[in-house]
Amino acid sequence: MSGESSGGVGAGQPGEPRRLQFIEKQYGFFGRLWRLFVRPSEAMEDIAGGSDYLGVIGLIVLRVVVVAVTIWAGLQRIQFVGGTSVIGAVFWSIFSSILVLLVILSGVVLAVFWLVKSLLVQYFCDSGSHWSFGQATAITGYAYIADLVVSILSVPIVWALTPTITIDMTNQQTLSQSIAAAQSQISNARWLFSLPLTVVGLVWKSYLGGLGANFATNDACSKRKGFAVFFILALIAVLISVVPSLRFY
């Protein structure tokens, strides 16, 4: 790519590191998503040119939708009986409300994690380049495409591996036992299949983040360092999400 006219990387003087020209982005939201699969380096170079909060928010919304679909898929394997009773109706109303709140909360948590992680990425990958927080949010946010793909692949896994469980909502003695059994089965499916997918997504996300940090800092942050920073931060997030499930073992 040539320097000033390409909108991408400037040529600079011989021996100097390349300099990103922070001008209007070349690709739109869907163009960036497609290139993250087929030309990740080209996509991350474009993303590294500046902030794109709307694009990242779009990815977060897509992730929340997938979370909702995953919950729905799991519920298809659970049969509730006694729903015509007063107790059953009240329980189902409370249960549905909790699920809706969890879906909404997942979006809020994802947004908070995104901003906090972006701040940490900006600090640890700075290496004297003084790159902007907006660039860090764009790189961190678009790297979440790996998590989105993993979430999509997890939907059929959750549906297929969650056993059909009958929950009698009129019998409070067996109700808690049935719910605990369902949680245990879903947790087992996560450990056996979803967790390996998560590891693959973690490596993929770290690779994209390393590319983006390298471009945004004009080579001040190496790809290896960027990969390591993203990998460690993502691993911490995975451990935070996995530890609560240990109580089922």
- CB 101: neighbour CB atoms within 10 A? 10
Q: Among residues 143, 159, 133, 132, which one has the least CA distance to residue 212?
A: 143
Q: What is the pTM of this model?
A: 0.75
- Give the pLDDT band (50/70/90) at residue 37: very high
pLDDT at 25 over 80: no
Tell me which H or E stretch contains 196.
helix 195-216
Per-residue pLDDT averaged across 174-184, rounded? 64
pLDDT of residue 195: 73
pLDDT of residue 59: 93
**Residues near 98 by Cβ (< 8 Å), separated by ≥ 6?**
none
Chain Cα centroid distance, residue 248? 24
**Residues near 217 by Cβ (< 8 Å), separated by ≥ 6?**
125, 126, 127, 129, 131
pLDDT of residue 9: 42
pLDDT at 84 over 80: no
pLDDT of residue 199: 85
Give residue-wise pLDDT tens across range 113-171: 999 999 999 999 998 888 999 999 999 999 999 989 988 887 787 677 666 767 666 66
Rounded distance between C-alpha atoms, residue 158 and residue 177, angstroms: 20
pLDDT of residue 120: 95
pLDDT at 32 over 50: yes
Mean pLDDT of the chain: 78
- Give the pLDDT band (50/70/90) at residue 91: low
pLDDT of residue 184: 66
187 or 27, which is more confident: 27
Rounded distance between C-alpha atoms, residue 67 and residue 70, angstroms: 5
Give residue-wise pLDDT tens across range 193-246: 667 788 889 999 999 999 999 999 999 999 999 999 999 998 888 787 665 544
Per-residue pLDDT averaged across 1-7, rounded? 37
Q: What is the dihedral of CA 10, 7, 206, 106, to 10 degrees?
A: 150
Distances (CA, A) of 116 to 48, 111, 119, 207: 18, 9, 5, 19
pLDDT of residue 185: 63
Please give the share of the chain, as a percent, with pLDDT higher than 70: 66
